[in-house]
Amino acid sequence: MEEALRQSEPQFAAGQIVKGTVIEVRPREILVDIGYKSEGSIPVGEFEDLPEVNPGDEVDVLIERLEDRDGMVVLSREKAEFKKNWARILSICNEGGTIQGKVKAVVKGGLLVNIGVEAFLPASQVDVSPPRNLQGFVGETYEFKVVKLNPERQNIVLSRRELIEQERAERRAALLSEMQPGDIRKGTVKNITDFGAFVDLNGLDGLLHITDMSWGRIGHPSEMLKVGDELDVVVLDINRERERVSLGLKQKTENPWERIEEKYPVNSKVKGRVVNLVPYGAFVELEPGVEGLVHVTELSWTKRIAKASDVLNQGDEVEAVVLGINREEQKISLGLRQLDANPWEAALEKYPPGTKIKGKVRNLTSYGAFVELEEGLDGMVHVSDLSWTRKTNHPSELLKKGDEVEAIVQEVDVPNQRISLSIKHLSDDPWEHIEDFYKVGDLVTGKITKLASFGAFVGLEHDIDGLVHISQVSEERVDKIKNVLKVDQEVTARVVKVDRGERRIGLSIKAAEYTPEQLKAEQAVLDALKPGEDLVALQHAFDAAEEKLKKD
């Protein structure tokens, strides 16, 4: 009988999985009866995945040892679960399947996950982008892919990222197959760069270029968007082979240039804001996406403005006049000066040729002097119109800035905004009647006004200069004019030549005491000079003629 009872009793052995009944739930442990001669205790932590444990509940447990020092059987629910699940996990791993698990805790380098057994989820495999706070995943249940399994060490490595990427790839393929240019899609701004923003279209990233964000001017995409913004975008282009999508935001609204001529007709007045200053002008925004250029020449009728920034600042609100529109090139020409009357249109009536004016010398250049007629209106006296008689190389020889001068209006060029003045026309040209003032043989007195390598200029009456060639200074040879004559030195000389055509009077200091016969010979030397000979070359001409006279 005893032998029969022993054979009918359950057989227990270490490593065996058996069913047990919960007989008592304590704060730190749970007592389980497996039908053996003694109960076993299991730590409460091994039941954390169960919502509630009550006496009478049946659980699978693994026998670790039949007796401990207290004579109790040593049991483990976790090891029983691990052993039961191991075969299933091996099958999942081999087949590339997925498994559900609950994140238990944060450990070094990642997360500890309960999938029936403990498995490791590296931080890099938690999501597509490694999360900053792993603690937020603890207690959550997810699907995982088993990516590495070591049966000998019973190590399991999981990946949630691969499942997410696989899901995104499927969604991306589906989106690419169904998406068409012109579609409007919802997306979330994922990343912002200098050239645009990447928008997540629920699994497919598209590029929203900065030029397609707004019809208006944008310095940087961050002026309009920030990461996380949700927006509707227009699909502009799709490259299915390279899985690239171009998106647009401004295309949801009408292109403001479509009816530009109707909104801003030529000669109409408009208001806008200065958005950019360049050396050649200022760009004025009339509305988002529509800018006009005020060229630097269109800023003022009278002021000579070097660059737009001299009179305008970025952000200024201005009024302007539409001068021209080119819709194809999306260009509008604007003018500020057209808001005022053009003073040059009245200049011809106010200053007709022949008008005598008075004004201050405002500026001197190498070619002439600018005289202010009125505020913003200047006339120019060319260097050749300063004097009938003086050979002037630079206007500073006769004028200085700030001088009050009189002049005669010669010409008013309205299209080119120029008024030509003349000071010399205030009086008659003395060369027209030069024979009444000077004749060959006259003895004259004057002061040296200028020295040159070839001779000296002597100031005579009627504001006329005569030239004493270096050969006509003395009977003796003169190497350097400055050695015998000085500026402002008074000299007496004989007029030996009067050339009305060339506006030249030849003088000779050495001929002041000549007899009529000697004077006639000297005049022959001067007559040998070619008409129009440059003054600088006179020295050679005089020398050649003098040598010829001596030989004869």
Beta bridge partners of 190: none
What's the pLDDT score for residue 382?
92
Owner of token pair 């010979």: 521
pLDDT tens column, 177-225: 788 888 888 888 888 888 888 988 877 788 889 888 887 777 888 888 8
Query: In CATH, what is the architecture of 343-426?
Result: Beta Barrel (2.40)
d(CA 294, CA 334): 5
Query: What is the pTM (predicted TM-score) of this model?
Result: 0.42
Distance between CA atoms of residues 394 and 400, nearest Å: 11
3 state DSSP class of 383 = helix
How much is the mean pLDDT over the chain?
82
The pLDDT assigned to 18 comes to 87
Alpha helix (H) ranges present in 96-221?
161-178
Q: Within the chain, what is the greatest distance between any pair of CA atoms?
A: 184
- Alpha carbon of residue 18 to chain centroid: 78
pLDDT at 294 (0 to 100): 92
Task: Name the pLDDT band for 94 (thresholds 50, 70, 90).
Answer: low
Residue 232: the pLDDT is 86
Terminal-residue alpha carbon distance, the chain: 179
The superfamily in CATH containing domain 179-252 is Nucleic acid-binding proteins (2.40.50.140)
| Nearest Cα residue to 167 out of 158, 156, 159 | 159
pLDDT band at 545 (very low <50, low <70, confident <90, very high): very low
Q: Does residue 493 register a pLDDT over 70?
A: yes
State which CATH number among 3.50.7.10, 3.40.50.880, 2.40.50.140, 2.60.40.10 fits the domain covering 430-551: 2.40.50.140
What are the angstrom distances between the C-alpha of 518 and each of 441, 510, 530?
Answer: 11, 11, 22
Q: From residue 87, how far is each of 47, 83, 245 by CA, in Å?
A: 21, 8, 45
Q: Is 352:409 a contact under the CB 8 Å cutoff?
A: yes
Q: How far apart are CA 36 and CA 68, in angstroms?
A: 14
For residue 74, pLDDT beyond 70: yes
Domains of the chain, by residue range, sit at 16-95, 179-252, 260-339, 343-426, 430-551
**In the prediction, which pLDDT does 321 show?**
92
The per-residue pLDDT for 541 is: 41
The tokens for 108 are 């070094």
Specify whether domain 16-95 bears CATH 2.102.10.10: no
**Per-residue pLDDT at 549 exceeds 90:** no
Residue 92: pLDDT band with limits 50, 70, 90 = low
Distance CA 42, CA 422 (A): 119
- In words, the CATH class of domain 260-339 is mainly beta
Q: What local confidence, expressed as pLDDT, does residue 95 receive?
A: 56
Beta carbons within 10 angstroms of residue 297's beta carbon: 13
Closest CA to 30 of 44, 17, 15, 48: 44
Closest CA to 435 of 468, 456, 411, 462: 462
Q: What is the pLDDT of residues 241-278, one digit of tens each?
A: 787 888 888 878 777 888 888 888 999 999 999 998 99
pLDDT in tens, 329-385: 888 999 998 888 777 777 888 888 988 989 899 889 988 999 988 877 888 999 888
**One fold for 260-339 and 430-551:** yes
Q: Please, are residues 486 and 448 in contact by the beta-carbon 8 Å criterion?
A: yes
